[in-house]
Chain A
Amino acid sequence: MSDTAARPALEIVDTKSPPASVSAWEIFLQFLIIGATSFGGVVPYLRDRLVVKSKWVDDKEFVEMLSISQSLPGLNATNMAVLVGEKLRGISGSIAGVLGMCLPGAVLMYAVGIFYHLHGDHPWSTAALKGVAAAAVGLILSTVVGLSKKALSHKFDFVFMAATVLAVNRLHWSVPRALVIVGILAILFHYPRKSENASETP
């Protein structure tokens, strides 16, 4: 089992050349393992399997793919499966990756759905679920803090962040409306300056 809390790119793994040919079945299997074991967040597990164990991508590519995954709509887990699958084997690789990634969690949650219907009203369930939901709120908040430290480069970014929260929660804007209006303002604020091109993120 991998070190679950390890951050990507602690020690740089650099593969000289990608494997000549990887079958869609192998891609499916690797992502099936990630999909079945990645408790508590997929990123460390992705890196462990794809960079360290199978050496399908190196660390530089991994970080790049992760930043693309984060900028695009869609979950990191499935976007990474698409990007890595695409790199290794085009369309069939992407499909194999996404299927493997989703299958274990989907089957598990299907079982949860049945169980909840049968026993969701049991006092034991409601008591435990109250605690679980509260812990999940704390978990999301910690993600917000972690991402803010990593991704926010300018003090003014916190104004855009607050504006987004107010737009959705107070003004009850739809998410796309908030995304487009605040997003465009924020992108214009970060318009390409000459000096910034020199200091590109690694």
Chain B
Amino acid sequence: MNQIPALIRVFAYLSILTVGGGMAAFPEMKVLTVDVHKWLTFPQLIHIYSVGQMAPGPNMMMIVVIGQWAGGVLGAIVTLIAFFGPTALLAFVIARAWRKLEKWPWRTSIQQGLAPVSIGLLLAGCFTMAKGAITGLETGAIAVATLLILLQYKINPALLVVAGAVVGLLSFLPK
């Protein structure tokens, strides 16, 4: 059961969808990795995505875990390259062209037009995730508290994710 070609196909495709952030690809990632290829379950996907928010660097490093579970070390490496390669190449090419287009009036239009769509994709990804992550009053309260604290105070978000783990332990640990 060799999953390597499927990993390359899926993650190269997801790579292109990460407009405005990795979360934009989340709904599609759920369909492809959970429903179609069954590399992991939906709760597992939510777990590793969330744990990934505590890791430094690009915030979609959780894809390494999917690659590892589906295809071992090779799966992890292949997934990493498939996910970051295409967009890196695109950024390289565009970086040179975009500078020359500085005076092109549609450049601003494209930036202004893509902004609400990419924020919408982020929000859509968030709702997809909330369906699995917000299961009751306690989890809802943790999410709202995190949101309010981040809006009010300048605090490192990774710390709040750690705090979420502590609150989770206190509230959900079977007595």
Residues on the A chain within 8 Å of B150, using CB: 138-139, 142
CB distance from A7 to the nearest CB of B (A): 9
Residues on the B chain within 8 Å of A82, using CB: 88, 91-92, 95
Report yes or no: B159 in contact with A40, Cβ–Cβ below 8 A: yes
Question: Of B23, B53, B87, B117, which is within 8 A of A78 by CB?
Answer: B87
- How many residues of B sit at the interface, in one of the four size bands? 35 or more
8 A Cβ contacts from B90-140 to A: 90-92, 94-96, 98, 105-106, 108-130, 132-135, 138-140
Query: Using an 8 Å CB-CB cutoff, how does the interface string of A64-96 with B read, 1 for contact, 0 for none?
Result: 000111111111111101110010000100100
Residues on the A chain within 8 Å of B112, using CB: 153-154, 157, 186-187, 190
Q: How far is the CA of A165 from the CA of B119 in the complex (A)?
A: 9
- Check A136/B53 contact, CB under 8 A, given A74-B87, A102-B58: yes
Assess whether B34 is interfacial by the CB under 8 Å rule. Answer: no
Report yes or no: A77 in contact with B121, Cβ–Cβ below 8 A: no
Q: How far is the CA of A140 from the CA of B58 in the complex (A)?
A: 15
Residues on the A chain within 8 Å of B44, using CB: 116, 120
Q: How far is the CA of A34 from the CA of B157 in the complex (A)?
A: 17
Assess whether B165 is interfacial by the CB under 8 Å rule. Answer: yes
Report yes or no: B84 in contact with A102, Cβ–Cβ below 8 A: yes
Report yes or no: A137 in contact with B88, Cβ–Cβ below 8 A: no
Of A120, A135, A141, A196, chain B has the most CB atoms within 10 Å of the CB of: A135
8 A Cβ contacts from B46-88 to A: 46-62, 64-65, 68-69, 76, 80, 84, 87-88
* Closest A-B pairs by Cβ, 3 of them: A131-B168, A164-B120, A135-B164
Q: Which residue of chain A has the shortest Cβ distance to B168 in the bound complex?
A: A131
CB distance from B128 to the nearest CB of A (A): 7
Residues on the A chain within 8 Å of B4, using CB: none
Report yes or no: A131 in contact with B147, Cβ–Cβ below 8 A: no
- Check A144/B123 contact, CB under 8 A, given A68-B95, A139-B161: yes
Question: Of A74, A86, A110, A116, which is within 8 A of B84 by CB?
Answer: A74
Q: Determine chain A's interface SS by DSSP, over half rule.
A: helix
Report yes or no: B92 in contact with A126, Cβ–Cβ below 8 A: no
Report B's interface with A, CB cutoff 8 A.
15-25, 27-28, 44, 46-62, 64-65, 68-69, 76, 80, 84, 87-88, 90-92, 94-96, 98, 105-106, 108-130, 132-135, 138-140, 142-147, 150-151, 154-161, 163-169, 171-174
Assess whether A52 is interfacial by the CB under 8 Å rule. Answer: no
Question: Of A101, A134, A154, which is within 8 A of B58 by CB?
Answer: A101
Q: Which residue of chain A has the shortest Cβ distance to B85 in the bound complex?
A: A98
Residues on the B chain within 8 Å of A141, using CB: 126, 143, 147
Q: Which residue of chain B has the shortest Cβ distance to A87 in the bound complex?
A: B95
Report yes or no: A105 in contact with B147, Cβ–Cβ below 8 A: no
Q: Which residue of chain A has the shortest Cβ distance to B25 in the bound complex?
A: A175
Q: How far is the CA of A35 from the CA of B135 in the complex (A)?
A: 33
